[in-house]
Amino acid sequence: MKSALFRALSLLVVGWLLAAPRVDAQTAPQPLVFEDAYSSGPVYLVPVEGMIDNALAKYIDRAVDDAEEADASAILFHVDTFGGLVDAADAIRKTILNAPMPTVAFIDKNAASAGALISYAADRIVMVPGASIGAATVVEGVGGEAAPDKYQSYMRGLMRATAEANGRDPRIAEAMVDQTLEVEGVSEAGQVLTLSAEEALRFGVADAVIDNETALLEELGLAAQPVVRHRATGAEKVLRFLASPILQSILMLMMLGGLYFELQTPGVGFAGTIAAVGAAMFFAPHYLLGLVESWEIVLFGIGVLLLLAEIFVIPGFGVAGVAGLILVVGSLFAAIVPNVGLDFPSFEAVGSAIGTMAVTLVLLVIMMFSLGRYLPRSQRFNQLVLVPDLASAVGYTSADTVEELMGKVGTALTPLRPAGAVEIDGERVDVITGGEYIASGTPVQVVHVRGSRVEVRKVRALPADRETSVA
């Protein structure tokens, strides 16, 4: 009896072990040292920090090219980012995957969202104690709301393919994007996966947990190699700042808003200057970084010319105006999309560009309505533009005034019925009576003046010392 009970318990234990999650066994970390011999070149340390944007993607591309030209033995990407644009992260991912030398993502301290995708692209992932990786759900807008499922599906595909390319568990990579996915022993459904350094090591996402870069180089067997700390140039830093998504939206507002208000008040003025400055600051950094092509700038210029022609040459809002508006908006959209010629990425890959453009257009409409209604009433605005005060209190009226005629006496040149003409001080003046008829040759006196209206009445008896203008 005891023997049978023991066998039954043994079978239960074996069955439980077989059914238990095998994530640790299946996703054991890879050996940190690469199998192939390193080249004799230096080790490149390349920062992947701050906002993931198209300017950073361009910089990473240059850094890898520089490392390849120097026959670098390896590239260590120093990752510390909370994420950014999906299309930019995808470009960086491809650059790292295609790098001819060994690559290592050294996460210190954050590799969130797009940073997780970039880290997965490296041959090895190393984290410092206290670092984290994950939370790669695609969000949209400033509120951080989750994007529609088609965007999540695209990001899941990128994470899965990148994990598979480097021998990592694709289920864990997908769980960092989709909160509905459950990975037994790793994460429960309803939570977007984020792993600490120790968890990432245990589940095979990280290959090692090491305190600093010096210790990492020793573990890789590269301590004797020279180290090149690659850095962005000063110009690249400025261009990256100008090419940030938030500033892109502001500069597009300057262009479109300035153009709109300039067309409302023709002539090169304050609004036109703002539009020109915005256009220069928007297109220049993108062009210098290779993110904008010449034809996109040409289309923008043609669109502006068509709008000007619609205003000044062929008034009304017809074909030229519609075509100009389409070219302006279309060229701006093409400028923030990482296209090569007419080869544009997939719709899902340009979600961030679509969001930036949509937010910009909404803000433009709000700005046009608000400023168009309230700005002309602003005292500050009136100091910038010529808005003369034409109030009668400061001497302006709708017509020439003749205040000096008040009280003067003259002679009716024509019958006043009730309007007519009188002669005062040798000059002919058009006047009107209060409704009475006055025959020509009758002495009259001015009793009221308002603008060009001069009202007179018959003089009953002239003062003895009062001269009249009767010839």
Residue labelled with tokens 């025959």: 439
- Residue 12 in any domain: the answer is no
- Is 132 a member of any domain? yes
Q: pLDDT class for 168, splitting at 50, 70, 90?
A: very high
Per-residue pLDDT, 471: 35
For residue 393, the one-letter residue type is A
Contact 81, 53 (CB under 8 A): no
| Structure-block tokens of residue 315 | 């008034």
Give mean pLDDT, residues 211-226: 93
Q: For the domain that residue 426 is a member of, what is the CATH number?
A: 2.40.50.140
Position 462 confidence tier, pLDDT thresholds 50, 70, 90: low
- Name the least confident of 93-107, 157-171, 212-226, 278-292: 278-292
Q: Which two tokens stand for residue 412?
A: 């009716």
Angle subtended at Cα 160 by Cα 37 and Cα 83, rounded to the nearest 5 degrees: 90
Confidence tier at 467 by pLDDT (50, 70, 90) = very low
What pLDDT score does 392 carry?
52
Q: Among the listed ranges 25-34, 67-76, 209-218, which one has the minimum average pLDDT value?
A: 25-34
Give me the sign of the Cα torsion angle 356, 362, 365, 368.
negative
Same domain? For 294 and 190 the reply is: no
Domain boundary among 173, 200, 232: 232
Residue 416 and residue 408: Cα distance in Å, rounded? 17
Same-domain pairing of 365 and 419: no
Task: Examine residue 3 and state whether it is found in any structural domain, yes or no.
Answer: no
> Quick check: 96 and 121 in contact, CB under 8 A?
yes
Q: Which amino acid is at 111?
A: A
What is the rounded CA–CA span in Å between residue 30 and residue 290? 37
Integer Cα distance of 271 and 257 in angstroms: 8
Distance CA 318, CA 328 (A): 16
Please state the rounded mean pLDDT for residues 331-337.
77
Above 60 in pLDDT, residue 63?
Answer: yes
186 lies in some domain: yes
Question: What DSSP assignment string belongs to 435-448?
Answer: S--B-TT-EEEEEE
- Measured at the CA of 29, the angle between CA 28 and CA 34, to 5 degrees, comes to 135
Do 248 and 227 lie in a common domain? no
Higher-pLDDT residue of 347, 428: 428
Residues 64, 175 share a domain: yes
Q: What angle do CA 93, 95, 101 make, to 5 degrees?
A: 115
Do both 256 and 221 map to the same domain?
Answer: no
The predicted model scores a pTM of 0.61
Residue 126's alpha-carbon distances to 34, 174, 292, in angstroms, are: 14, 20, 35
User: Considering the domain boundaries, does residue 16 fall inside one?
Assistant: no
> Taking 80 as the threshold, does the pLDDT of residue 470 lie above it?
no
Q: How far apart are CA 208 and CA 215, in angstroms?
A: 11
Per the CB < 8 A criterion, the answer to whether 127 and 206 are in contact is: yes
Q: How many domains does the chain have?
A: 3
Helix (H) or strand (E) holding 235: helix 234-242
Please name the residues in contact with 142: beta carbons below 8 A apart, sequence gap of 6 or more.
Answer: 359
Same-domain check for residues 412 and 283: no
**Do the domain assignments include residue 470?**
no
Strands 132-134 and 103-112, by their bridges, are parallel
Amino acid at 186: V
Q: Cα separations (Å) of 297 from 95, 239, 468? A: 27, 17, 77
Same domain, 47 and 152: yes
CA distance 248 to 243: 6
Q: Say if residue 207 is in the same domain as residue 58.
A: yes
Residue 467 within any structural domain of the chain:
no
* pLDDT greater than 80 at residue 13: no
174 in Cβ contact with 167 (< 8 Å): no
Which of 232, 263, 284 is the last residue in one of the domains? 232
Residues 355 and 257 in one domain: yes
Domain enclosing residue 164, as ranges: 21-232
Answer whether residue 352 is part of any domain. Answer: yes
Strands 208-209 and 124-127 turn out to be: parallel
Is the same domain home to 126 and 159? Answer: yes
Taking 50 as the threshold, does the pLDDT of residue 41 lie above it? yes
Same domain assignment for residues 203 and 255: no
Looking at 210, 232, 254, the residue that finishes a domain is 232
Reduce the DSSP state of residue 125 to 3 states and report it. Answer: strand
| Other Cβ atoms within 10 Å of 62 Cβ, number | 17
Does residue 131 share a domain with residue 30? yes
User: What single letter denotes the amino acid at residue 90?
Assistant: D
